[in-house]
Every structure is written in C-alpha cells, then in structure tokens.
Amino acid sequence: MSEQIKVLVVDDSSLVRKIVTDILEKDPGIKVVGTANNGKTAIFRNQELDPDVITMDIEMPILDGLAALRQIMATKPKPVIMMSVLTQHGADATFKALELGAVDFIPKPSTLMSMSVEEIGDLLVKKVKSVYKSKLNINRIEDEKIKSPSFKTEIKPVLKSISDKIVAIGTSTGGPSALINVFKKFPEKFPSPVLVVQHMPEGFTAAFSKRLNDSSNLSVKEAEDGDDVLPGHGYVAPGHSHMNIVKKGDGYKIRVFKADKVSGHMPSIDVLFRSVAEHAGSKCVGVIMTGMGKDGSDGLLKIRETGGYTLAQNEETSVVYGMNRVAVEIGAVNEIVDLSEITDKIVKHI
C-alpha cells in the first residue's frame, strides 16, 4: 500500500474531532496521526508529528484557529483546511484565514442543512488528497503571500452603459485568496462586467461577495436571477445554483437556476463559460484558476473556439494545479500567466 497522508485534526469539541477522524480514516489512504483541542496544542503537535495536512477549527479556547494558523505558517507551514460555521462572524474569520495562508475550508458537520455529514465527509477527503498532492505549490505561493486588502468604504461609481465585453472567471481550491488578489487590481471605472464561479458551499458566497466588494473598485454582489450584467460590476454565482447569461437587447441578463451538477459541481464553471461562449463569442475573456478537478476546462475551450481570449493561472502560483492544468492540456488556453499578472492581462484584452 502507498504511503498514507498524515492528518492532524484540531477542534475543541471531542465529538467533532471523533467525527472528522472517523470520516478521514474510512479512506485507506489517510491516517489521523493526532488531534488537538486548542491552537496552542496544535502548534506543538504540528512540530512534533509533522503532519501532511491540518484541519483547523476557528473558535477555540487558549489560542484560536487564526492565531494558531499564523504561528504554523510562520514556523512550520502546512496545508491547512479550516472547519467553518455558517455565521457572519464565522464567514469573516474563514476568509481571513484564507488570506493568512489556509488553503481551503469546508463547513463543519451539521452547519449546513443542505449538506449531509456524508457529503461534507466526501468533500473533506477530496480536499485533503488534493492539497496534499500540491503541498510544494503551497510553499511556493507563500513567497508572494497575498496581503489583506485595504478595505474601502467610499461609494463606487455606477457606469450607465452596458459593455460589449465580458470577463468570466472560474476558481476552486485556493481560489478565494487568489480572487481577492485579482479583484483588488481592477482599475476604477473598469468598462466590463466580471462574472465568477467559485466552488464554495451554500451560504458562504454572499459573505465572499462582500469581501470582494470591499477589496475592489468593482461593485460586487452575489448574483440573483434577472440581474442586468453591467460594466464595473462583479457577480458571484451563489453556492446553491448554476449561473449563466442570456441576451437582453444589446446586453445580457443573469440566470440563476438549480439543476443537476455539471462536471461534478453546482455552481459549475462549465455552465457559465459555455453560455458566455454562446452569447458573447469573441467579446469575452475567460480565466481559469487554481482548483482540483476539470470543471471549466471544456467551457474555456468553447470560449477560445468562438474567438474569445483565454487565460490560465500557472502551476507555480496555484494551490492546486488541476482545472487549469486540464484546460492547458486540451488546448483551451491562449496564455498561461502568474497570479500577479492576471488582472493586467484581462485589462489588456478588454
């Protein structure tokens, strides 16, 4: 049998520690080498046990998950997956953790009524395996650590005309921090709309949209069915539905709808990309970024085939070089670029 992935489980609840341990150890490729009930113990266990991956609670006594994460990333960095509760405070802390170096998050068992413990468990096992395989990438991305954005409170200008160019971006594991990096570089009065599918559980996309809005010159919101697609605005697909666009006069409207998973996901990047290719054709820029799996690769190929310009985040700055790797392999990508260059490339081709 191949070497097992060593995981450290950190949570102040003994019940949650047992649930997470049982979920992980059902997979023969994973071994829970230890647990911790607070952040201080987690730092010690990380040094002592040298796990491959850490699952980390946020709210804990003695030392919370954010403080522990800072210490771990500064002393012995590991891929850390946060266990998040669905509250405003929990969501804010989760996105702060991603900015501090955590690679991803999942909802804690029983946090989301729409997801069963089995579904959360399946998601956790997949994420552990994907970030373990990409641990060297995680270390390299630390070299250009994404700084917390300087949040702005001023009213942003609302542009009146509808642009004939559309930007569509797809991301998954490692995407939230990478997207903040991209969005904070958009110039004022950016002349096109930006549509985003980020694989994220239901309930967290509204808080993430606000995070992007506060760190960007764009006016960003969680997309709603019937929204007009306006320049200078960003639209994030809600975690419970697909998102695509339909023609409306000289512009477009957003459709948000529930359906079967596509490419294993709802929302699916492929759903958005295919509709952008169909309706905008050459008047779009498609971007595929860090994430496991292959969602978005086929849709990006359609964008390129219809004359749109396509970008892929490079391996060196991707937490998981998965979706973007597949897109490159099937010939869907015009240009492979560093994370720090993505916004400039988008602006150049608008």
Catalytically active residues are 172, 199, 295
Cα separation, 338 vs 315, whole angstroms: 8
Comparing C-alpha atoms, which of 258, 261, 255 is closest to residue 275? 255
Q: Are 163 and 228 in contact (CB under 8 A)?
A: no
Residue listed under structure tokens 């490079």 = 314
Q: Are 263 and 237 in contact (CB under 8 A)?
A: no
Q: What is the DSSP letter of 24?
A: H
Comparing C-alpha atoms, which of 198, 196, 201, 194 is closest to residue 172? 198
CB atoms within 10 A of CB 14: 10
Q: Are 303 and 310 in contact (CB under 8 A)?
A: yes
Question: Which whole-number Å values give the CA distances from 248 to 253, 270, 299, in the listed order?
Answer: 6, 21, 22
Per the DSSP assignment, residues forming a β-bridge with 301 are none
Comparing C-alpha atoms, which of 162, 166, 167, 103 is closest to residue 131? 103
Q: What are phi and psi of 165, to 5 degrees?
A: -115, 140
Residues 6+ apart with CB under 8 A from 93: 58, 59, 65, 66, 84
Look at the alpha carbons of 166, 274, 255, 312 in this order and tell me if their dihedral is positive or negative: negative
Q: What is the DSSP letter of 162?
A: P
Q: What are phi and psi of 127, to 5 degrees?
A: -70, -40
